[in-house]
Amino acid sequence: PHSGCGGPQELTGESGTFVSWNYPSSYDNGKSCTWSITVDPDKVIHLWFVEFALEENQLCTADFVTLRDTLGTIGKYCGYNKPKPLVTLSNHVMVYFDTNDRKTDQGFKAHYKAVTPDFASQIAGAGGFLQGDQGNLMTPGFPGQSYPNGALYQAAGLLLAICLSRRGISEGIIERVRLTFTTFDLVPDVCGDFVQIYDGHKAGSSLIGTFCGGSVPKPVESSGNTMVVRFKSDNSLTSKGFQATYTKSSLPPVAIPTTTTAPATTSIKTPPPLTTSGSGGPVIIEGRKGIIQSTGFPNSYPAYSNNSWKISVSKGFLVKLHITDLAITGETGQCKEDKLILSLRRL
């Protein structure tokens, strides 16, 4: 088995096993381990843990395992609740294991195997890949039972890649997925349970929206013929869940002139959002949007780093900051070690 703690461990076989440092003995403090799992392009990855014992922490800020795919963070796991099996959307997944300088435990042992995409339907509550011009999707157990706790990604929740037929492409028709919720009842207020909808399943696909609570979201549409619906729940309260229908939404063919040529126009490309680590800052960020991240992200940040950003927008506008991933060493609410500080100033 591969420990992945002496540097990123590349796993490329059809199947394999990886374990925490020193397993089955206790892992060490201050470890940062990485596994990169890649299988054949036409396969996806079935990943499951057979043993799992990490330091208990309510927000998983002590010792924890993080799973990431092409869309972002799948889930963050700690304590003694073994993550349930999952099937990825693509042929690649990253696994990170980070420990602090306090308690240790036995660690974990996990297996993976390359499978065909339809394998997801064989795992209860894992969702799967839906194809066709229309259909239904719902949380596990709906409507007779509440959805389970600890549902993250395909582990015990719902992950559906909805793919429409491609017959209209040759005719110039743009086919989209339209998703309409008919029932929506998640645990209110806290938003520990939520639905994320992505505009596709490939790397760089944008997040259409995140929804929680008890209000039925408005219908949403993808820009192409694929949409991903991801449901996650925490380990506290649970509720009835949701039900939704998906249908095909088509735009008419693009007319191509045959006798005349339209005058040339100069297209103005919008530059991608600025991404900066803030190292050596403060880094001044101006403009309508941007991305900030710690040094080395998504890998662990280095010790003794000092990063800062100053975000400024035009007069009359406000700044909306959305933190999508947060994993900082230290006890919850203490912030005696590593910390992220936000300060507000009106100019």
Report DSSP letters for 90-123, one per residue: SSEEEEEEE--SS----EEEEEEEEE-GGGGGGS
Locate 114 and state its tokens. 């390359």
Most confident residue range from 64-68, 193-197, 227-231: 64-68
Q: Are the C-beta atoms of residues 108 and 30 closer than 8 Å to each other?
A: no
Q: Are the C-beta atoms of residues 79 and 105 closer than 8 Å to each other?
A: no
Q: Is the pTM of this model over 0.75?
A: no
Q: Write down the pLDDT at residue 11.
A: 94
Residue type, 278: G
The yes or no reply on domain 9-117 and CATH 2.60.120.290 is yes
CA dist 316 and 19 (Å) reads 53
Q: Are the C-beta atoms of residues 44 and 119 closer than 8 Å to each other?
A: yes
How many CA atoms are closer than 13 Å to the CA of 289, on its beta-carbon side? 5
332 pLDDT tier (thresholds 50, 70, 90)? very low
Residue type, 210: T
Largest pairwise CA distance in the chain: 76
Report DSSP letters for 167-206, one per residue: TTGGGT-EEEEEEEEEEEE--TTT-SSEEEEES-SSTTPP
More confident residue, 343 or 207: 207
CA dist 14 and 35 (Å) reads 15
Q: Write down the pLDDT at residue 10.
A: 92
Report DSSP letters for 253-312, one per residue: PPP--SS--PPP----PPPPPEEE--BTSPEEEESS-EEE--TTTTSPPPTT--B-EEEE
More confident residue, 187 or 132: 187
Q: Are the C-beta atoms of residues 206 and 199 closer than 8 Å to each other?
A: yes
All CATH 2.60.120.290 domain ranges in the chain, comma separated? 9-117, 124-251
CATH class (in words) of the domain with range 124-251: mainly beta
Sequence-distant (6+) residues with CB within 8 A of 15 are: 111, 112, 113, 114
Q: Write down the pLDDT at residue 156.
A: 25
